[in-house]
Amino acid sequence: MDGAAPRHVGGPRSFVARLRDGDEVAHLITLVFAAVILLITSMLVYELWVSSHLSRAQFGWNFLWTQTWDPIFDHYGAAPFIYGTLVTSIVSLIIAVPLGLAAAVYLAELAPRNMSDSIAFLIDLLAAVPSVIYGLLGIFVVVPVVRTTIGPMLINTVGNVPVIGRLFKGPNYGVGFLTASIVLAIMIVPFIISVSREVLLTVPREQREAALAMGATRWEATWKVVVPWARTGIMGSIFLALARALGETMAVTMVIGNDPKIRESLFASGYTIAAVIANEFTEATGDLYLSALIELGLVLFLMTFILNGLARILIVATERGGGRPS
């Protein structure tokens, strides 16, 4: 200690002392990096807002529910794209959530550990495959299968059910909402499995043992104790998946048919916001056309924002009555 000044001798230390100790530096640097996130978000909104000025001035709120998308007469509405984005995202979640959750439960709770780990490695690999590859898989595999097998099967079964049946009527060419949803589901399942599995593995073993000690079967302990404990994390994985589904561009545009129409049937072609922006941006000749595309981007951003907000509310709401310590 001799020779060196004591690090701290009561009383507040000088700024320079704190700077030298690293506290202040670390504080400043991390603060700046955190602020960058805020900056990027606000720049994004600002840019979308300003660049979509023409379109907003021309169509106002009507933009959201107008069904026409007509570059020739310069009349633009977002409704078919919002519809397509929501339908494909929701249907893909309906397919992917049970599948992903079941796989995660198996890998975390039932499978031998080394098998679980090696499959988890493959799943993480799947999550990293570029979406255009999934698009190819869609074109060469999913489209023909929907056209020849899944489509006719659905038409002949659920197609006859009163209300839901209307979703499965009409011509089935293989491209459309359903195919896009299936491809999306394949893409987002790895996210759900990977994150849910990690979360399930962090559930304290005392929770499981508490249930087993009361005479719960392994499945009862898993389904009624372990999964509820991991609920927040599982929800998180689902919303991560939803975010990817909402914004997915390439794979969807390859199989959805790219037709800006609102149609009831899941076999019909449609369009999504991300797909239309990617497809038409380079050909957008008029200023209004370009502005309308940018406004679509703004709409997509807000949709993601709102859905994330709803997700938060949902998580908080389901926590009530039994929130675990955080």
Among the listed residues 178, 225, 251, 255, the single contact to another protein using CB under 8 A = 225
Q: Mark residues 178-217: x for contact with another protein by CB under 8 A, - for none.
A: --------------------------xxxxxxxxxxxxxx
Report the C-alpha gap between 296 and 144 in whole angstroms: 31
Regarding 325 and contact with another protein (CB under 8 A), the answer is yes
Least distance to another protein from the beta carbon of 221, Å? 9
Report the C-alpha gap between 198 and 104 in whole angstroms: 8
DSSP 13: P
Regarding 310 and contact with another protein (CB under 8 A), the answer is no
Q: Mark residues 228-267: x for contact with another protein by CB under 8 A, - for none.
A: xx--------------------------------------
Dihedral in degrees, nearest 10, Cα atoms 285, 289, 294, 298 = -170
Number of residues that bind another protein (CB under 8 A): 25
For residue 204, the tally of other CB atoms under 10 A from its CB is 11
Report the C-alpha gap between 299 and 43 in whole angstroms: 16
SS3 75: strand
Nearer to another protein, 3 or 215 (CB): 215
Which positions ≥6 away from 307 have C-beta within 8 Å? 239, 242, 243, 246
Least distance to another protein from the beta carbon of 213, Å? 4
Least distance to another protein from the beta carbon of 212, Å? 6
Regarding 166 and contact with another protein (CB under 8 A), the answer is no
Are the C-beta atoms of 76 and 289 separated by less than 8 Å? yes
Nearer to another protein, 211 or 273 (CB): 211
Residues forming contacts to another protein in the complex (CB under 8 A) are 113, 204-217, 220, 224-225, 228-229, 321-325
